[in-house]
């Protein structure tokens, strides 16, 4: 073969792009490692006394007591049988405070549920009894 020159592996064009490729892979790994998974927290509302409830306030607090997620659900009629809250929470221990309010009057005393989440706990389902009237 004439006119064709063979170059060594050190002069291959892909070798010049290798540092950029390695940087991109490391950057993607670093970016994905900081991602907090979305978790689905489901409460089955058990008992008859839920029919009078028109609003439910769910507060998820971390170990220091800071509210990291809060959702308020309002209803024109009785709440559904299941209450679903989606939240981006890293693994750890949490307290979930559930405040219920009837159509009139102040909120009923809260229900407090302790929640311990591991890496694999993406769907957590718990039963929730109605709050006690004052």
Which spans in the chain are helix H? 13-33
How much is the pLDDT for 6? Answer: 66
How much is the pLDDT for 134? Answer: 47
Instruction: Give pTM, 2 decimals.
Output: 0.69
Strand 38-45 vs strand 123-128: parallel, antiparallel, or unpaired?
A: parallel
pLDDT less than 70: residues of the chain: 1-7, 9, 31-34, 132-134
Four-point Cα dihedral 117, 120, 125, 131, nearest 10: 10
How much is the pLDDT for 119? Answer: 85
How much is the pLDDT for 60? Answer: 94
């Amino acid at each position: 073969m004439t006119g064709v020159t063979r170059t060594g592996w050190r002069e291959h064009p892909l070798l010049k792009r290798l540092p950029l490729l390695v940087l991109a892979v490391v950057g993607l790994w670093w970016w994905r490692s900081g991602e907090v998974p979305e978790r689905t927290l489901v409460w089955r509302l058990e008992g008859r006394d839920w029919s009078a409830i028109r609003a439910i306030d769910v507060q998820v607090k971390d170990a220091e007591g800071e509210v990291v997620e809060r959702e308020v659900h309002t209803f024109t009629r009785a709440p559904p049988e299941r209450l679903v809250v989606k939240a981006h929470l890293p693994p750890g221990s949490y307290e979930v405070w559930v405040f219920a309010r009837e159509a009139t009057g102040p909120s009923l005393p809260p229900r407090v549920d302790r929640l311990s989440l591991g890496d694999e706990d993406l769907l957590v389902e718990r039963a929730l009894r109605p709050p006690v009237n004052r």
